[in-house]
């Protein structure tokens, strides 16, 4: 799986989590539990999650792999999908 595919999977889950929760603030998900990323090395997931965080598309919500999408992430996702 390429880095772009990993980032796309994280963004898709982040977006869907926010939509299902009805709120960007409460649409938290655990990046380590994304089924499409099973078998992907943890360091690759962490690298791409950090990349998305630094770009301002997602943010770390708590320790332990919990993340949430940002308004910029919503705009980016809706523009590219």
Task: Report residue 3's pLDDT band, with 50, 70 and 90 as the boundaries.
Answer: very high
At residue 65, the pLDDT reads 83
Q: What is the DSSP letter of 66?
A: E
pTM, full prediction: 0.92
- In the CATH scheme, what architecture does the domain 3-80 have? Orthogonal Bundle (1.10)
- Residue 19, pLDDT > 90, answer yes
Domain ranges of the chain: 3-80
At residue 78, the pLDDT reads 96
Sheet with 29-30: list strands edge to edge: 29-30, 66-69, 58-60
Name the average pLDDT for the chain.
92
State pLDDT tens for residues 41-77: 989 999 999 999 999 999 998 777 899 999 999 999 9
Q: How far is residue 9 from each of residues 37, 67, 72, measured CA to CA in Å?
A: 8, 13, 17
Instruction: Return the number of other C-beta atoms located less than 10 Å from residue 36's C-beta.
Output: 14
């Amino acid at each position: 799986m390429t880095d772009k595919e990993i980032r796309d999977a994280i963004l898709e889950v982040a977006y869907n989590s926010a939509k299902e929760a009805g709120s960007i603030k409460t649409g938290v998900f655990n990046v380590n539990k994304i089924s499409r990323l099973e078998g992907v090395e943890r360091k690759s997931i962490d690298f791409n999650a950090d990349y998305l965080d630094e770009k301002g598309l997602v943010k770390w919500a708590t320790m332990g792999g919990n993340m949430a999408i940002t308004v910029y992430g919503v705009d980016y996702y809706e523009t590219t999908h």
